Structure 1
Amino acid sequence: MSDLVVRAEGLRKRFGKTQALDGVDLAMRRGTVLGVLGPNGAGKTTAVRVLATLLRPDAGMAEVAGIDVLKQPQRVRRRIGLTGQYASVDEDLTGTQNLVLIGQLLDLTTRDARKRAVELLEWFDLSEAAARPAKTYSGGMRRRLDLAASLVGHPEVIFLDEPTTGLDPAKREDMWGVVRTQIAQGSSVLLTTQYLDEADALADEIAVINHGKVIAFDTPNGLKRRVGGLTLRVRPSDPARIGDALKVLDAVAAPGTNASLDTAAGARAGAVAVPVAADTAIDEALPALRRAGVEFTELGLHLPSLDEVFHALTEEKTESKKESELV
């Protein structure tokens, strides 16, 4: 059995003059979360719709759970769960009826479908509203019902297209718990999201899409190292010792770099920072600071945030596209 539960190569899709997918390659390992990031209009949802058999590409191939999505879409649909960007429940049915209906469509017995509905409604904190029509639900409640619907059949592969849009912070974290539970139970999850902290918290690997192309693919930490590398940051207890801290960090800096004042906003202002080649730099800096008599309130290694990575990658790609259009 292949380690890859999702594989796509050279996916292309055009809508009129818009090239939504321009040769997208994706790979997701079994039992992991693949985060797919990109600006609005980058092609994320189009890629998900192709993989979920809702849209045929103009070119390329894709397999989900080892099944060709173009040749055997019905088999694929029985192995997946999908939550789109917008809740798609039947508003005239109750929460329970929505989930039971989906279970019956998946060939569960009525008894098993009801049992699964009760389990999911409790899981998503919807038990008290189970007997109410979905049209009486708030936007967040409908979203949670939609998420529950995607899990009725215990899918092997789950596609979550911006699943926490419209949820408050507490419910977002609840959803993160749902994703982790699904992975622990043997599912694999492809997650698109606009929340970079969400991708950082959940994804084992991340694909960044821009202008219909995958422009980067790596683990979250791999992307961070690729864009900015490690930085060692120190904030002296006494601001007057900044100069001494600079001298210490200069001694452990990566070749060709120097320590500098960290003028970032907030609590880090007034610190000093230096790019370092490896995490062992902190082992050199700590005794050197003590020898110099520099006390500190912060000493740590930092990678760029995923926000910084995302903006660096997408802005670089946008600039490259503009330059190519001028040639």
Structure 2
Amino acid sequence: MKPQNLTGVSEFLLLGLSEDPEWQPLLFGLFLSMYLITVTGNLLIILVVTSDSRLHTPMYFFLSNLSLADIGFISTTVPKMLVNIKTQSKSIMYEGCLTQVSFFYLFGCLDNVLLTTMAYDRFMAICHPLHYTVIMNPHLCGLLVLVSFFISLLQSQLQVSMVSQLNFCTDVEIPHFFCDPPQLINLACSDTSTNIILLYCMGAIFGGVPITGILFSYTRIVSSILRVSSSGGKYKAFSTCGSHLSVVCLFYGTSLGVYLSSAVSSSAKKGAVASVMYTVVTPMLNPFIYSLRNRDIKRALQRILSRTT
């Protein structure tokens, strides 16, 4: 019997992290807590940066946009997962799946490009301090964020266009808690060789170029810091990059680790569990990294708390 093509009218089944009914209340409580912590922490960062005039600098302007992207990134996947657990349903409509793919890559790529922009900002601040305020003016900062958004929008639309060309048959079970394009390609009943090539090409362009830019910036930053004679000057320069470098290592370390492990391991379930690190844990930890390691953020938080009390 020829498989029925259900593309455009079907729904997918998100199998989630575990199908064991005993694990569902624990997973619901855990991911709800992580989601609320992430949204609250990132909103607090945005509130602190916008309300304190001392933080109206390029570095904190990019940080507030990164927090906004993190909220969008985690809100793309976790709320649908929580709804499915609460309603004991695994379904997601085909249109909803495409929407999830679009926003997942929009905010994920925006995170990626903003981290590169922040590396460029640190590069200008440390390597060209005398020209920093002239070069990193508000117009350029706004333009960089706008360009980052359009690059991310381009990637998300390319991903959606690629997925929408796939033909799906009766097997519509996705061993994941969100619509991940590699998993969707595996479910397709048409020839996917071109899609796989496009997926790797887009990953190399939209992932490789930002990583190269970050590595180049920090290579120049480290060489400039090593030329500083005083140990106090070196510490001050390193401290301005510490939070950003921690977030970069966390984001790229977890995401690359997930995709490298999924390439080695054939277990889709293990890949879904590992992807929690960069889709949920990383956005949750970013506010803590910046607030705990950044003296300006802590002082601004103290001023806001003192005014409210």
Q: Shorter-chain-normalised TM-score: which range? A: under 0.3
Larger strand proportion, structure 1 or 2?
A: 1
Query: Looking at both structures, which has the greater relative contact order when contacts are Cα pairs under 8 Å and sequence separation is at least 6?
Result: 2
Larger helix proportion, structure 1 or 2?
A: 2
Query: TM-score, normalized by length of structure 2?
Result: 0.22
